[in-house]
Amino acid sequence: MEEKALIYCEGHFGDADGKTANGLIRRSQKYQITCIIDSTKAGLDSGEVLNGIKNDIPIFQDLTEAIESLREVPKYFIYGIAPKEAFLSTNQRKVLLKAMFLGMDVVNGLHDFISDDNEFVQNAQKCGVKLYDIRKPLANRYLNLYSGNIMNVKTPKIAILGTDCAIGKRTTAMLLVKTLKDRGLRASFIGTGQTSIIQGEKYGIALDAIPSEFMTGEVENAIIEANLHEKPDVIIIEGQSALSHQAFISTAAIIRGGHPDAIIVQHPPKRKTRVDFPYLKMPTLKSEIQLLETFSHSKVIAITINHENMNTEELKRTTKDYEDLFHLPTTDALAYGCNKLVKALFKAFPDLKEKSQIIN
């Protein structure tokens, strides 16, 4: 049974740093989301802000207004911002403490672990609430080193990678999983970030919080576990950051640990600099594809577009331009769905098409 939760996303709902809140509005298997807190969009409907479609999940000015309007205190307070700094400000700490005093368990996806913070721990005990640090890894002795057993996984593994952070790789992956399931296929999703874990996905890790020595092993283990227990026809792996990104190494670990059999690459054509790194220019889609294929020894079989700052005509034109230039099926999964991606998978892995036809 889904427990009720509200999401704190002050100043960032709908933008790149609000990706945890954005993801939970689009999909949540674990929580019933009651509202968003973001004073810059107070009074609006979160669905209309995010997707242009009303979902009746309101956005409130602050925690006080939210509780007064809801007329109840949700069980969970979810910190829905994923900023570059990854540490709580003084004002944000006050909001978390207020949530505790109201009797709410706190779900935190930052690298700033609240369960290691004496002030938060003492107040949580006083208020009788729990603190959940989603990114906090297990002790090293419980983590997995790379074993090479991933090479024994014969199920097709598809990685949704990209040219930057916060461009919708997780969203595309989840939409593709749903589409494949609708076609009668058993598709497993492997999460690699804190948002997918908060959403309630069964298999995955917050990869960027894992010590580097164990990153590939943790990815490998998550895939092996899903393959063992779910017996999927296809495995879809969520990407993180970009292989070319100077600040992160997650994509390298996903490729090394996951041994993807094919790659779908996502790109925001209008983005000029990397999110949260205005001094870093975006790579070209061509250079990223070349880098991915060289590093992974796998092939990019399709392109997906993030349509931020693009109108409908620009999206249509860019889709056609990319297909002409790269000779790869291209789509925007949010705008147009995943049919082109499914066709690309069926072409690369004919057995999937046969299984889909047999089941349907």
- Tell me the pLDDT tens digit for each residue of 169-215: 999 999 999 999 999 999 999 999 999 999 999 998 999 999 999 99
Can you spell out the DSSP letters for 287-325? HHHHHHHHHHS-EEEEEEE--TT--HHHHHHHHHHHHHH
**Bridge partners, 281 (sequence order):** 273
Does one domain contain both 281 and 344? yes
**Where are the strands (E) in 67-217, listed by range?**
76-79, 105-108, 131-133, 157-162, 187-190
Average pLDDT for residues 87-105, to the nearest whole number? Answer: 95
Residue pLDDT, tens place only, 130-176:
999 999 999 999 999 999 999 999 999 999 999 999 999 999 999 99
The number of folded domains in the chain is 2
Judged by phi (left if over 0) then psi (alpha if -120 to 50, else beta), residue 75 lies in alpha
Q: What is the pTM of this model?
A: 0.92
- CA–CA separation, 220 vs 332, rounded Å? 29
Provide the pLDDT for residue 2.
Answer: 81
Residue pLDDT, tens place only, 25-45:
999 989 999 999 999 999 999
Structure tokens at 73: 């205190």
- CA–CA separation, 224 vs 234, rounded Å? 12
- CA–CA separation, 233 vs 351, rounded Å? 9
How many angstroms separate the first and last alpha carbons of the chain?
A: 31
Residue pLDDT, tens place only, 248-270:
999 999 999 999 999 999 999 99
Cα dihedral 169→175→181→182 (10° resolution): -160
Does one domain contain both 148 and 286? yes
| Residue ending a domain, choose from 99, 115, 133 | 133
* 126 CB neighbour count, 10 Å cutoff: 10
Does one domain contain both 189 and 329? yes
Average pLDDT for residues 91-98, to the nearest whole number? Answer: 96
Does one domain contain both 115 and 169? no
Does one domain contain both 156 and 283? yes
- CA–CA separation, 143 vs 137, rounded Å? 8
Provide the pLDDT for residue 269.
Answer: 98
50 neighbors 25 (Cβ within 8 angstroms): yes
CATH code for the domain of 266: 3.40.50.300
CATH code for the domain of 18: 3.40.50.720
- CA–CA separation, 189 vs 176, rounded Å? 9
Does one domain contain both 9 and 129? yes
Does one domain contain both 261 and 183? yes
| Residue ending a domain, choose from 103, 133, 163 | 133
The H-or-E segment that residue 197 falls in is helix 194-198
The H-or-E segment that residue 252 falls in is helix 250-258
The model's confidence at residue 82, banded by pLDDT at 50, 70 and 90, is confident
163 neighbors 305 (Cβ within 8 angstroms): no
Does one domain contain both 77 and 16? yes
Does one domain contain both 285 and 151? yes
* 140 CB neighbour count, 10 Å cutoff: 11
Candidates 358, 346, 289, 302; CA nearest to 156 is 346
Provide the pLDDT for residue 247.
Answer: 95
Burial zone of 295 (CB within 10 Å; 0-12 exposed, 13-18 middle, 19+ buried): middle
Percent of the chain at pLDDT above 70? 98
Q: What's the domain range around 70?
A: 3-133
Structure tokens at 300: 């990019």
| Residue ending a domain, choose from 105, 133, 161 | 133
Does one domain contain both 63 and 180? no
* 316-321: long-range contacts, CB 8 A cutoff, minimum separation 24: 318/269
